[in-house]
Structure 1
Amino acid sequence: MIPISLHPDLQKDVPTFKIGCIQYEAIVIDSPPKELNGRIELFQKTVELDLSDQPITYYEGVKEWRQVFKQIGTDPTRYRPSHEALFRRLKQGKGLPSSDSSAIVLNNFFSLYYQMPIGLYDLEELQEPIEVRKGEATDEYEGLNGRINHMKDKITNVDPNGAFGSPMVDSKRSAVSSNTKHILQLLYLRPSLSEADARALTDNIGQMFQQVHSGHVKTAVLTKQRPRVH
């Protein structure tokens, strides 16, 4: 597992803050399997039906991450967690972002199903060590949203080359493509999860992703204690 640390300042604001880390090696990214597309379409229709007469905060994971942003010092009405942005697309009838990448499609599905932001990063574009911390004034990156994202006082992932991702949007630098073979997946776990449940969920997501993409998987959960690696 690539060295990853969680800055203690995050847990001063959110004492049960934790990150699930999954590293995949020698995977194969292809078009999403038909069975996966079918399951996602069914789930999408269920969400759209739920949200036809309910607010976005119908989902506990949306409410919880809005609260996390407030505790960190990020305005959740101005900067939205990525899973909330996906729920909003469905409520507005826009559907999920189209993609021919099995990795991205599955990642978006996990993010909605488990109601949390999830980042997906090409490991070959990153250097070690990696740290998850509050952004500083100089932290910024060109995001997949096509904008320069300024990360001061926001949850930010950094490597020796600078910031590359967050629970809001990831960077073009670390974007996963069909040629990507080695991936780092970061689960911005709901703080209400117990450590045991966080480890179980991280392991399960790793196994499900591996079933679609083959390769090898390692998992860890960053908490106040030393990360437990599987």
Structure 2
Amino acid sequence: MEILLSSDLIEKIPNFKVGVIEYENITVGVSPQMVKGRLQLFQESIYFELENKNVTDLPGIQEWRSVFKMTGKDPNRYRPSAEALYRRVQKQNYLTSVQSAIDLNNFFSLQYQVPIGIYDRDKLNGSVTIHLGAEGEEYRGLNGRMNSLGNLIVSSDQLGAFGSPFVDSDRTPVTEDSKCALQIVYLRPSTDLENAQKLTESLMNMFIQVHGGDASYRILGC
């Protein structure tokens, strides 16, 4: 699948980069106990780590808040998805198991302090462009609301925007019926190429270990 970064995005954030993973022949279902257990234990450890800290002091959260500011989006109103997860954990509103793909997405987002989106590739139409949303552009998100995409980093196919590091749309989520998927890892701009590759490959290998199938990855923006 062709995936492009727009020039307007690179101009705003010169070091912007994403890890892109494509999966085929995967089996999504109930998470194995190993995944459920790791997700729960990791959230508990984060809760204790945050007892005397602010979520915004975490380096990954700080960096992604600054990215939103650079694009003109107020991170106090539109929080990066990784920050939203951390704030839930801080309140002991722990993430419960949904299904294997979403659980792993949440686990890695917490581990690396970055937004990560995963989409059913069969629900996408044509090539994908990651760009800045236009004023007036919007979609219904997985949060159940219409979300304004103006000045927000968004991913779009020929049918329009479907994902962002804020909240994804309800058009392309991975479900237990999904067989092919596209995963976008919104890396910290400060991450160098070697570490970007290691992080993305590690995530891909864990996903394949749980879901089977085949996968390939690449880094865009380096």
Task: Give the alignment's TM-score, normalised by structure 1.
Answer: 0.94
2:210 corresponds to: 212
Task: Specify the SS of the correspondent of 1:172.
Answer: coil
Tell me the distance in 2 between the aligned counterparts of 1:64 and 1:93: 24
Residue 152 of structure 1: aligned partner: 150
Partner residue of 1:227?
none
Give the aligned residue type for 2:37: G
* Match of residue 171 from structure 2: 173
* Unaligned ranges ≥5, structure 2: none
Q: What's the CA shift for 1:74?
A: 0.8
Partner in structure 1 of residue 40 of structure 2: 41
Distance 2:66 2:98 in 1: 33
Q: Note the C-alpha offset of 1:30.
A: 1.5
Asked if 1:162 corresponds to 2:160, the answer is yes
User: Segments of 4+ in structure 1 off by > 4 A?
Assistant: none
Name the CA distance, whole Å, in 2 between partners of 1:159 and 1:66.
26
> Given the alignment, which residue of 205, 211, 222 partners 2:220?
222
Residue 15 (structure 2) pairs with residue 24 (structure 1): no
After TM superposition, give the deviation of residue 100 of structure 1 in Å: 3.3
RMSD: 1.0
Letter in 2 for 1:147: R
- Contact 2:141-2:168 at 8 Å conserved across structures: yes
Contact 1:30–1:100 at 8 Å: present in 2 too?
no
Q: What per-residue deviation string (whole Å, max 9, x for no partner) do you get for residues 172-230 of structure 1?
A: 10011111111100000001100121122111111111110000001011115xxxxxx
User: What SS does the aligned partner of 2:103 have?
Assistant: helix
Query: What are the ranges of 5 or more consecutive residues in structure 1 without an aligned counterpart?
Result: 225-230
The Cα of 1:138 is off from its aligned counterpart by 4.5
What is the TM-score when the length of structure 2 is the normalising length? 0.97
In the alignment, structure 1 residue 104 sits paired with structure 2 residue 98: no
